[in-house]
Amino acid sequence: MSRKNLRIAGLLTAIFTVVLLTFALRPAEKGNTPLRQASVPGPKQEKILKKTTLSQDVTATDRLNRVDVSQHLTSLLNKAHGASFKDVSVYAEHLKQEHGHFAMLTWLDFRSNKTTTFKSDPPQGSDQENKTLQKYLKLAKSSLKNHKSYESPTFVVGQEKYYFMGQRDKEGSIGVIALINQKVLGKVADHQLKNLRLIPYPKEGKFRVESVHTDTLGELTVKTGHDNQNASHFYENEIVVRFPNGHPTQGQLQTIVADINGKEPRKLGYAYIFRSEKMSFYQLKSYFDNKWHPEYTEPHYLYLTNDTVSETNPEVITPNDLLYSTYQWNLPAIETGQGWNLNKGSKDVIVGVVDTGVQASHPDLQGKLLPGYNAVTKGSTPDDDVGHGTHVTGIIGALVNNGEGVAGISWYNKILPVKALDNSGAGTTYSVAEGIIWAADNGAKVINLSLGNYADSQFLHDAIKYAYDRDVVLVSASGNDNTERPGYPAAYPEVLAVAATNASHQRASFSNYGDYVDVAAPGESIASTYPDSQYAALSGTSMASPHVAALAALVRSLNPDLSNQEVMDLLMKNAIDLGTPGHDKYYGWGQVDIYKTLQAASGNPVPLQLWPQHVRQQLNQLKQRMGVNP
């Protein structure tokens, strides 16, 4: 046999051997993991829950809007301090151009008792509505004169909602009053009626931690901070063991490691800490008690500081973005702050967003966007005329630590916007397929697809395969119909299908489910960027999917040698199991965990569970170098 054939045969043998070992060592169960059974609401209950979600999104968007406006007014006052009136006019004009929801901007100089309106586009309504507007404007002026800030309730003029906000500078010499058009609330409501399928649309035509009661060691689910008084926490697949006769031999340690599917233990003093890839603490305890009769076994406990902060190492990175700490529950929920210690992304790993386009001028996306593509209107820029794509893009890559708006998951990855959906939020198979292929051909290493249908299109599947064959990680939303019916492209085997969870780590009531679901991610009332340089909270699996796409980008930034399938396997392998042990149809393998996944990606060059794919990739590369078709 030739040397070339010997090498190929050897690699094939290695693949076969490792595949057998991998399946043989695959964990059969998760032990005593607390179950979070997902319940499927009936049609009536589903409608009530979805309406509640929509209401939450509108309310959250209102809060985001008011906090953002307050910051802009404060910034305007700070810039104007000591500046000329001409400079103040420039600042006001800049604010007007960037933020179309500022309907009127009035400047008050208390030193000269002069009032100037820089931008005046007051709405016209009925006599009563106009009186209401003037009433709140007078209240705003009166409050500022009395050195108080002002914020009116929402009121209606014509067909739109408005509110006044007024602020005065620290010295008390100048003030500003803004009339804000709240059309974003209507847009969010209309968008979510479609997104959550409340109306027919389109129209016809780290290792997991276990908690136990400190006194009884009975299982305990910690739901509130108060529950912690009775709880002890430990790593669920680790155990501390002290052997009766000192230390086991090297041969005995090798036997243990093989039995528990673990790695070489850590030794400290008289005890050893063993970690298993397949056994829970309770299974490990049974194994050691029955086979090795140790002096003692106990959980590998976590000890927490007696402070209000319950996080353990590594230190959690908390960015200074205005809306992060109060409104972005979703990023701490998947350990983003810890994960940023390991990687914040790379400009060399591009994320394609095939969606409704993006607002390129949004201040929280500056420097993050590459020139994209419009598959709906050829030759046009991929501008967002819906809002969906801008929101998805912000979840992935809104600027971090810029003191403004929201924080994206990636600090540095570039985003390639592709408009494949039109101004109704829908797109043809052709435009979506073209968008996928274009993104793959133009450097995307990850593609997010927050879109779907129930038709199994071979045409679309071919586009998916085209991108997958070019080593792209494809991530897609499962859908918002609370149905088990497979949606596409999420259900294609080349795609990572994402379900949605809420702030309680439970299945979102609208989230589609099924055996094709791979992982879950936060998808309820997610704060992100929105057109007109605003911010909005939206719910849907469309919001869950970009969390996973962003994580895939971080993994590829940290370990660029991993293939697309290896990245997908890492995300699934290191998800936090939320449902029945192992894979289930509601959460897949569980909710993604950024810190745990990046830990795994930064460890040994190729983890054992990924070795078969790695060998296969090496084999294909070898064949290509030798001129053999893969």
DSSP structure string for 255-314: HHHHHHTB-PPEEETTEEEEEBSS--HHHHHHHHHHHT--SEEE--EE---SSS----SS
Token reading at 384: 């967002």
Measured torsion, CA atoms of residues 280, 282, 284, 287, in degrees rounded to the nearest 10: -140
Catalytic entry in 388, 391, 461, 614: 388
Q: Quick check: is 355 catalytic?
A: yes
Catalytic entry in 62, 68, 321, 355: 355
Exposure class string for 243-270: b at 16+ Cβ within 10 A, else e: beeeebeeeebeebbeebbbeebeeeee
Token reading at 533: 């340089």
State the Cα–Cα distance between residues 452 and 477, nearest whole angstrom. 7
Residue whose pair of structure tokens reads 């509110």 in the numeric block: 163
Query: How far is it between the farthest Cα atoms of the chain?
Result: 97
DSSP E strands, 60-218: 102-109, 114-120, 150-151, 155-157, 160-168, 174-181, 209-213
**How far from chain centre, in Å, is Cα 347?**
19
Which of helix, strand or coil describes residue 209? strand
**Sign of the alpha-carbon dihedral angle for 277, 283, 287, 289:** positive
Token reading at 536: 């909005």
State the Cα–Cα distance between residues 392 and 409, nearest whole angstrom. 11
State the Cα–Cα distance between residues 56 and 185, nearest whole angstrom. 11
Nearest alpha-carbon partner for 161 in 139, 143, 141, 136: 136
Residue 201: CB atoms within 10 Å: 14
Q: Quick check: is 213 catalytic?
A: no
Our CA angle for 516, 344, 319, nearest 5°, is 105
Pairing outcome for strands 160-168 and 155-157? antiparallel
Which of helix, strand or coil describes residue 197? coil
Q: Quick check: is 542 catalytic?
A: yes
Catalytic entry in 346, 528, 542, 563: 542
Pairing outcome for strands 271-275 and 238-242? antiparallel
State the Cα–Cα distance between residues 360 and 455, nearest whole angstrom. 32
Is-contact 478 512, C-beta < 8 A? yes
Residues forming the active site: 355, 388, 542
